[in-house]
Amino acid sequence: MWVDPVQLAWGAEEEAFRAELVAFLDAEVPEEMKGGRDWIGDESPEIPQWASEFQAKLFDSGWMVPSYPPELGGRNATPLQTLIFMEELASRGVSRSVHFGGYAIVGPSLLEFGNEQQKSMAPSAIRGDTVWCVGMSEPDAGSDLASLQTRAIPDGDSFIVTGQKVWTSYAMVAEKCFCYVRTDTGVAKHKGISVLIIDMDSPGLEVRPLRHLTGAIEFAEVFLNEVVVPKENLVGDLNSGWRITMGSLAHERGALWVESVSSAQRALEGLVEIARRQGLENDGVVRRKLAELYEEVHSLRALGYKGFASFAQGSSAPEHSFMKLATSELRQRLYAFGMELQGPYAAVVDPELVEEGGRWQQSWQISLAATIGGGTSEIQRNVVATRVLGLPRG
Amino acid sequence: MDFTLNEEQVLLRETARAMFGNECPPSLIRDAFYDVTSTGPEDARTFFDRHLRDWAALGDAPVVDLCLFMEEAGRVLAPGPGWVNTSMFLPLLRLIEHPLADQVAAGEMTGTVAVCGSDGYWVLSEDPVRSFVPHAKEVDLVAVLSAQNTVSCVPATELNLQEVATLDRSRPVFQFDVPVGLDTTGVSAEELAAVLNRGTVALAAELIGVGRWLMDATLDYVRERVQFDRPVGSFQGLQWKLVDAALLLERADAAVYFAAMCLDSDAAEQHHAVHVAKAAAGAAARRWARDGLQSLGGIGFTWEHDLHLRLRRAQASEQLLGSASWHHDRLAELIFSTG
Ligand SMILES: Cc1cc2nc3c(=O)[nH]c(=O)nc-3n(C[C@H](O)[C@H](O)[C@H](O)COP(=O)(O)OP(=O)(O)OC[C@H]3O[C@@H](n4cnc5c(N)ncnc54)[C@H](O)[C@@H]3O)c2cc1C
């Protein structure tokens, strides 16, 4: 490291936690994961076996979602321990899973909103034994999710579901879909949405993979044509689906920023090395630009910690509303600068000819998704304006 | 790094905020702005004597505590030499074990610090002139630093002080010829750097306070002001600009306290952190001055509205103890100097 990482001076209990985690990671992180990878579908959309095994091992050792109890892949960790966990993973570029839908969205949502039978599906979702996809977006419902039109019509003990989902990550490998459907067309659009658990092998359900601009196959279109879904697959109350979109992951929210800040920090360190190798070390423009980026990365890291302090004390942390917006845009600029530093080779993708086998070109392309998925930057700005700054709705 | 404030720190901030709220109304600040030096209005001229002498001992306190106070002072633009006296002058006297240090901590004596030569860059100088010396006419003593890492304490009345008029009349700066044959005390470069770091982070905290006032005033205004039958704050073009400015202020705020904690714990990262803090805080204050002014429309461009006092402070303080570009260049040196 070219500057010391923030070494948090926590108590002995925290340090013991860290030591145990470090020992686990040193022994168990698979070679393939060390490059840092949290998506599927470079060459094929399959989930590699090493990734499934690692996720299961994390779960069985209580390191999958540390704040959960052991039966859910955790060890009842405190918020501070969760922060330490995130830091250690992120500083090594290690992801818990190559498909975050199950452990990060579906598992927590089932636990919060599901009935007893549905809650019992959470452990396998978190362990990765059951692969899930999340069906929210539709061709005519993206940022305006509440306008979704996939219809579920009651029919005896079932719903008959017809419609289309799009950009559904992992749909081609998933066993189940956590699917948002319209169950009432006669009320305000937020009030007629429900969530159904749909088996991906149901008759009438068809998946057509879509390629990312990177070439990878990760998301898909999902067509539903009179798919029969048992009524017991309804999650939560009928027409209460909008609440579910707002839930999930609350327990980790205080530390989610760590991963994105750490990867920004790693990118920054990489930029300094490229500048050296490219003989740009004494270029005034490059130096100033790198210093500006350093300022941004490190002040955002401080902002994350500041938000964590309020979070750990049980207050809301408006700081964290800024973090996804800020880090997703910052990372795009970091990777783009890594390309720019390569001069005329900026757009070359032959791994033999460019820095680090094309890492910068690849990371830049992948980073372009981060300002779209999970709420676009524009929507994030609207949300911060109204909820954090208290400005009137447009 | 734990950003949680302890009970005393929360109390300190609340006490300071209440004191400034009660004793430092906008009218006093405006008066101070019109003339802060010798002939200014009584209330402004004596504000420091009446209210800030009691706080001078913060110069001996952890930097985080000092920053909490400076942020409140910046919010109201408290008149007087408090910043330079507490954040740099007192620590300098402690450093050279000056016999008057305790009196300064007790608020009985005051001082300022003379660092840069006539070129105005805040690096230790060989120049026979010292410039940009803040508040020199309001204090008893001036500590003159030199490129040989020496400190000399001179009574302000013995110096031929010439004011350098800047945009910010509420923080007057002076130039003088360094008298020959001063008594000097040698210190180490690291010790001097530590004092300057402290002053830099305290000034950055003050700029955060300036930015907070500007942000609050701007958001209040755009929530209320109606055009085209709706509050102007509901227009997305304004909202997004203010969101980005708010992000800048929030990350600058965090960077300032991060730097303060680094200084308090003598962390390896402290020099990096100080550069980040001042660069970010200066940028945030200037950004809110500019975007705030624009969001207020015509009223923002008037002499009558208090915004311009902060615009001036933000713009002038950017140059004290190094501008953002200056800090970025120093930061680049640190970044490339380590393997
Ligand atoms: C890699 C990736 C994976 C994804 N995975 C999933 C998944 O697993 N499941 C799932 O359901 N979805 C998934 N999505 C979809 C994602 O949630 C949507 O793409 C996103 O919500 C935006 O919707 P949209 O694409 O329809 O764009 P639109 O909503 O049509 O937006 C188009 C443009 O208009 C802007 N815009 C829209 N509304 C406003 C407004 N009010 N103010 C200002 N600007 C506005 C947007 O910011 C954007 O720039 C994924 C997307 C990506 C890129």
Taking the complete model, does pTM exceed 0.90, yes or no?
Answer: yes
Say yes or no to pLDDT of B273 above 70.
yes
DSSP, collapsed to helix, strand or coil, labels residue A224 as strand
Do residues A196 and A228 both lie within one domain?
A: yes
Q: What is the CATH number of the domain that holds A200?
A: 2.40.110.10
- The domain total for chain B is 1
- Tell me how close the Cα of A59 comes to any Cα of chain B, in angstroms: 29
Do residues A274 and A372 both lie within one domain?
A: yes
DSSP, collapsed to helix, strand or coil, labels residue A158 as strand
SS (HEC) of B112-154: EEECCCCCCCCCCCCCCEEEEEECHHHCCEEEEECCCCEEEEE
pLDDT at A317: 75
Say yes or no to pLDDT of B138 above 90.
yes
CB within 8 Å of chain A, chain B residues 269-288: 269, 272-273, 275-276, 279-280
Q: Minimal Cα distance from A280: which residue of B?
A: B336
Do residues A22 and A97 both lie within one domain?
A: yes
Q: Give the separation between CA A115 and CA A235, rounded to whole angstroms.
A: 7
CB within 8 Å of chain A, chain B residues 45-74: none
B233 near A CB under 8 A: yes
- Domain end, chosen from A245, A266, A290, is at A245
Residue A122, domain member (yes or no)? no
Do residues A56 and A163 both lie within one domain?
A: no
Q: Give the separation between CA A303 and CA A311, rounded to whole angstroms.
A: 12
Query: One of A87, A252, A259, A355 is an active-site residue; which one?
Result: A252
Say yes or no to pLDDT of B65 above 80.
yes
Could you tell me the pLDDT band of residue B170, with boundaries at 50, 70 and 90?
Answer: confident
CB within 8 Å of chain B, chain A residues 238-277: 272, 276
Domain assignment of residue A276, given as a range: 256-388
Residue A154, domain member (yes or no)? yes
Domain assignment of residue B227, given as a range: 189-337
Higher-pLDDT residue of B51 and A255 is: B51
B225 near A CB under 8 A: no
pLDDT at A366: 92
Whether residue A287 and residue B332 make contact (CB cut-off 8 A), yes or no, is yes
Q: What is the CATH number of the domain that holds A323?
A: 1.20.140.10
Residue B75, domain member (yes or no)? no
- The domain total for chain A is 3
Residue B280, domain member (yes or no)? yes
B325 near A CB under 8 A: yes
- Domain end, chosen from A223, A245, A267, is at A245
Contact list in A for residue B221 (CB cut-off 8 A) is none
Ligand 1 within 6 A of CB of A178: no
Could you tell me the pLDDT band of residue B41, with boundaries at 50, 70 and 90?
Answer: low
Residue B309, domain member (yes or no)? yes
A87 near B CB under 8 A: no
Whether residue A288 and residue B243 make contact (CB cut-off 8 A), yes or no, is no
Query: For A303, which of B236, B251, B329 is closest by C-beta distance?
Result: B251
Count how many Cα atoms sit within 13 Å of the Cα of residue A181 in the half-sphere of its side chain. 31
Whether residue B233 and residue A294 make contact (CB cut-off 8 A), yes or no, is no
Contact list in B for residue A378 (CB cut-off 8 A) is 240
SS (HEC) of chain B: CCCCCCHHHHHHHHHHHHHHHHHCCHHHHHHHHHCCCCCCCHHHHCHHHHHHHHHHHHHHCCHHHHHHHHHHHHHHCCCCCHHHHHHHHHHHHHHCCCCCHHHHHCCCCCEEEECCCCCCCCCCCCCCEEEEEECHHHCCEEEEECCCCEEEEEEHHHCCCEEECCCCCCCCEEEEECCCCCCCEECCHHHHHHHHHHHHHHHHHHHHHHHHHHHHHHHHHHHHCEECCEEHHHCHHHHHHHHHHHHHHHHHHHHHHHHHHHHHCCCCCHHHHHHHHHHHHHHHHHHHHHHHHHHHHHHHHCCCCCHHHHHHHHHHHCCCCCCHHHHHHHHHHHHHHCC
Q: Minimal Cα distance from B243: which residue of A?
A: A385
Residue A211, domain member (yes or no)? yes
Distances (CA, A) of A154 to A160, A238, B172: 6, 11, 77
Could you tell me the pLDDT band of residue B45, with boundaries at 50, 70 and 90?
Answer: confident
- Domain end, chosen from A226, A245, A264, is at A245
- Overall average pLDDT of the B179-189 stretch: 95
Residue B260, domain member (yes or no)? yes
Ligand 1 within 6 A of CB of A326: no
Residue B60, domain member (yes or no)? no
> What is the distance of C-alpha A273 from the center of its chain?
28
Ligand 1 within 6 A of CB of A167: yes
Do residues A106 and A206 both lie within one domain?
A: no
Ligand 1 within 6 A of CB of A104: no
Ligand 1 within 6 A of CB of A373: yes
What is the phi/psi pair of residue B69, to 5°? -70, -45
How many Cβ atoms from other residues are within 10 Å of residue A134's Cβ?
25
Q: What is the CATH number of the domain that holds B230?
A: 1.20.140.10
Q: Environment class of residue B97 by beta-carbon count within 10 Å: exposed (0-12), middle (13-18) or buried (19+)?
A: exposed
Beta bridge partners of B271: none
pLDDT at A249: 54
Do residues A302 and A275 both lie within one domain?
A: yes
Higher-pLDDT residue of B22 and A33 is: B22
Residue A393, domain member (yes or no)? no
pLDDT at B100: 97
As for the ipTM of the complex, it is 0.96
pLDDT at B253: 98
A83 near B CB under 8 A: no
Give every CB contact of residue A231 below 8 A, 6+ residues apart in sequence.
Answer: A154, A157, A158, A159
* A252 part of the active site: yes
pLDDT at A2: 32
Residue A68, domain member (yes or no)? yes
pLDDT < 70: residue spans in chain A:
1-10, 35-43, 246-253
DSSP, collapsed to helix, strand or coil, labels residue A165 as strand
Could you tell me the pLDDT band of residue B339, with boundaries at 50, 70 and 90?
Answer: low
CB within 8 Å of chain B, chain A residues 275-294: 276, 281, 287-288, 290-292, 294
Residue A1, domain member (yes or no)? no
Whether residue A385 and residue B231 make contact (CB cut-off 8 A), yes or no, is no
Q: Give the separation between CA B54 and CA A307, rounded to whole angstroms.
A: 33
pLDDT at B40: 56
Residue B258, domain member (yes or no)? yes
Residue A63, domain member (yes or no)? yes
pLDDT at B44: 76
Of A173, A372, A377, A391, the residue with max ligand 1 atoms within 8 A of its CB, to mutate for a pocket test, comes to A372
Query: For A393, which of B234, B242, B246 is closest by C-beta distance?
Result: B234
pLDDT at B14: 97
Residue B27, domain member (yes or no)? no
Residue B195, domain member (yes or no)? yes
